[in-house]
Amino acid sequence: MFSNFDFDVIQRSWVYLFQTGMVFTLQLTAMAMVGGIILGTMLAMMRLSSNRLVSGIATSYVNLIRSIPLVLVIFWFYFLVPYIGAWIIGANEPIKVGAFTSSLITFILFEAAYYCEIMRAGIQSIPRGQVWAGYALGMNYWQTMGNIVLPQAFRNMIPVLLTQTIVLFQDVSLVYVLSITDFVGAASKVAQRDGRLVEMYLFVALVYFILCFGLSLLVKRLQQRVAIIR
């Protein structure tokens, strides 16, 4: 089976794969994670709002995003947003968004829906009595959330947030459909250039497995260390 397997192509190209492809993948993952958590936290607080309109808007957004395949959302933003933006500002030509910017916006908006549900569960895990205690001390809603509820919620949800980030890291490979040179895109270029698709895609799968499995083990250990004993 491996008689014609060319290990040389991996040795020749691994520096390019990691310096160009993996660096891009990690950068996009980190930026989308930060943006997704910030937006997701805001959506979670909106969903928990007593205002039905605010709660309904956030709920509808989360349900809509979670019901659509990510690759479809990527295509939507890449092809439609330039025209929508031009229509909004009254321009005659589509706005030049760019593949990277389009992908970043897509992942932030998409992942925010999932981070929202994680944060909502974290906020609801905090005993309601602590909220009333904050009010008793003279704090308003935002002070209570910022000083009492959210710090504990983040601690409770760190392992789950990191698990979702691992999923995000895997999902970033979908930018390959936009011809962006992420880790998968870089491997594809080498594979097509040298005619070694099997070798390169097996190598990519092995790298993803090692990284994701290793990170999953670290998350499991972290979960044991940050767990709040009640």
* Number of residues written out for the chain: 230
Helix ranges restricted to H, 90-196? 99-124, 128-136, 141-144, 150-171, 183-194
SS3 of residue 12 by DSSP: helix
The residue type of 31 is M
Domain definitions of the chain by residue range: 8-226
Mutual orientation of helices 70-79 and 99-124 as an angle, nearest 10°? 130
- What confidence tens digit (pLDDT) does each residue in 13-62 have? 888 889 888 999 999 999 999 999 999 989 998 898 888 999 999 999 99
The first and second tokens of residue 51, run together, are 């205002």
Q: What pLDDT is stored for residue 136 in this prediction?
A: 84
Q: Considering the chain, what is the average pLDDT of its residues?
A: 85
Rounded Cα gap, residues 63 and 201, in angstroms:
34
Q: What pLDDT is stored for residue 227 in this prediction?
A: 59
pLDDT for residue 80 is more than 90 = no
- What confidence tens digit (pLDDT) does each residue in 124-145 have? 888 878 878 888 888 887 788 8
| 116, 47 Cβ separation under 8 angstroms | yes
pLDDT for residue 118 is more than 80 = yes
The verdict on domain 8-226 having CATH code 1.10.3720.10 is yes
Q: What pLDDT is stored for residue 229 in this prediction?
A: 47
The residue type of 64 is L
SS3 of residue 174 by DSSP: helix
pTM: 0.84
